[in-house]
Amino acid sequence: MIFADLLFLYIFMALCLAAYFICKNVTYRNIVLVLFSLVFYAWGEPVWVFLLLGSVTVNYVGGILIDKFKGTKKSTVALALTLIFDIGVLIFFKYAGFLTENFNAISPVDLPVPDIKMPIGISFFTFQIISYIIDCYWGTIKVQKNWGKLLMYISLFPQLVAGPIVRYSVIENDIDNRKTTARDISDGITRICMGLGKKVILANNLSVIVDTFFKEGNLEALSVTGMWYTVIVYAMQVYFDFSGYSDIAIGLGRVFGFHFDENFNYPFICKNITEFWQRWHISLGTFFRDYLLYVPIFGKRRKYLNLFLVWFCTGFWHGAAWNYIIWGLYFGFFILIERLIGAKALKQIPTVITHIYSKIVIIVGFGIFYFTDMTKFGIFLKGLFGLNGNPLTDIISARSMTSNLWLVLVAVILCLPVVPKIKEKLEKSEHALLYSNCQTVFNIAIVALSSILLVNATNNPFIYWNF
């Protein structure tokens, strides 16, 4: 089941909200969320629910043992065994085939390559549960001694399959003491509508352009202009797709009384690559920062080795393919360069130059992200600079630019913090009531238009469900 689906919007979500608000006691509300979350996750493939329940149980026991033997070697052993289980499960389901293929490529052995179907969202809920168990060991949170409450934290359907990666500390108090105010419901619904519009109206239509040239077209013959045009559109597609999901997740959480941290903050307005990753997929970036960047390796923090591991893992986390590893190390390289230059020196560079530099790096990065086929990846890189013998322009891409002008223009504008600035000014003016009414009408319009677009739409899941 996906958020951008009529079944979810008009049946699942409606039933969940009704059942949730009928209950007045937070314990019963937690039970409702657990039951609906398990149904949500089981909708596509019921068997993976048992994997989820097993992971929660192992980490529940691990947390109890860490707390019981706190300050002793037994606590460290409990942490290590739990992490081995969590990471082992992730490697088995997500990377077993990839690792076997590459082992066969460099050795005389020809092992059978396992064809293992990856559970949806395993990367997200595994990292979430890893953050919980490490925080238990570090003593930054209290160990959850109620299995059902830990299950609710991990399985909560708004963020279960594609994030954001919610830290236990963020909702620790909300599990037992949350309250939903009228403002929570209003802001949550608005956020859900905005996310739905990003996905259905923008991302899905931008994906048609990308598929036309990168998936269905003759990539080698695509002009230089067409190559840059398509990869720019793809960058916006991924942004609206993933930030749209995050908006819906945060909005749903808000309606239920949870206050998740933001996952995106207009990343394309960044002036350098370091700032981009402070604004893009924030929950993943902070995860690696807190649990890997500053962790001592062989008894000592090793600045450059830690940085390499962070960006290797960032890329590899996204998928079992070499392009993702290259993509992670590619961004890590530029972040290393920026660190060597220093923040003060970067600020002295003219803003126009830093913006141009960062956008070129980011856009090329999205091309690396797209092509899992290394042959096509090479064609893409050469095509950006006309090294395929491809022309500077072509009629087909020019027509696409013309026919999709308004879609692309709106997408570009919404990549900028224009709406929040307008909202801030109107809310502080004498037109606050008018703005509120317009927002309600706008929400209804987005839901109506999205619903119409979804009537005959084929299944179009969020991009990050693959990770």
CB 161 within 8 A of CB 120: yes
Considering the chain, what is the average pLDDT of its residues? 90
CA distance 153 to 146: 11
pLDDT score of 458: 65
List Cα–Cα distances, 392 to 123, 148, 363, 389, in angstroms: 40, 60, 18, 9
| pLDDT tens-digit series, residues 167-213 | 999 999 999 988 889 999 999 999 999 999 999 999 999 999 999 99
| pLDDT tens-digit series, residues 133-142 | 999 999 999 9
CB 123 within 8 A of CB 94: yes
Single-letter amino acid, residue 142? K
pLDDT score of 398: 92
The dihedrals phi and psi of 3, each to the nearest 5 degrees, come to -65, -40
| pLDDT tens-digit series, residues 337-378 | 999 999 899 999 999 999 999 999 999 999 999 999 989 999
The dihedrals phi and psi of 297, each to the nearest 5 degrees, come to -110, 125
Instruction: List % helix, strand, coil for the chain (3-state, nearest 5).
Output: 75, 0, 25
DSSP 115: -
pLDDT (mean) for 88-107: 91
pLDDT score of 174: 92
pLDDT (mean) for 437-443: 85
The neighbour count for residue 434, using CB atoms within 10 Å, is: 11
Closest-CA residue to 331 (of 342, 344, 315, 320):
315
pLDDT score of 252: 95
CA distance 431 to 445: 21
pLDDT score of 465: 60
Among 281, 318, 355, 431, which one carries the catalytic annotation? 318
- Residues 6+ positions from 98 with CB-CB distance below 8 Å: 320, 321
| pLDDT tens-digit series, residues 224-245 | 999 999 999 999 999 999 999 9
pLDDT over 80 (residue 3): yes
pLDDT score of 96: 92
pLDDT score of 299: 63
pLDDT score of 467: 61
pLDDT (mean) for 310-327: 92
Tell me the torsion sign for CA atoms 447, 448, 449, 454: positive
| pLDDT tens-digit series, residues 117-165 | 888 889 999 999 999 999 999 999 999 999 999 999 999 999 888 779 9
Q: What is the dihedral of CA 450, 453, 454, 455, to 10 degrees?
A: 120
pLDDT over 90 (residue 110): no
Cα–chain center distance at 302: 28
pLDDT (mean) for 262-278: 95
Is residue 333 within a helix (H) or strand (E), and if so which, with residue range?
Answer: helix 322-341
DSSP 263: S
Place of tokens 């322009």: 393
Q: What is the pTM of this model?
A: 0.92
Place of tokens 């049946």: 11
The neighbour count for residue 432, using CB atoms within 10 Å, is: 11
- Counting residues of the chain whose pLDDT is more than 90, the rounded percentage is 68
Give me 408's structure tokens. Answer: 């692309």
pLDDT score of 196: 94
CB 443 within 8 A of CB 190: yes
Strand ranges (E), 282-399: none
pLDDT score of 298: 56
Q: Band the pLDDT of 297: cuts 50, 70, 90.
A: low
pLDDT (mean) for 35-41: 93
CB 19 within 8 A of CB 36: yes
| pLDDT tens-digit series, residues 305-318 | 888 999 999 999 99
Cα–chain center distance at 337: 26
pLDDT score of 212: 92
In the chain, where are the structural domains located? 6-177, 184-466
pLDDT score of 306: 86
pLDDT score of 466: 65
318 part of the active site: yes
DSSP 218: -
Q: Band the pLDDT of 100: cuts 50, 70, 90.
A: very high
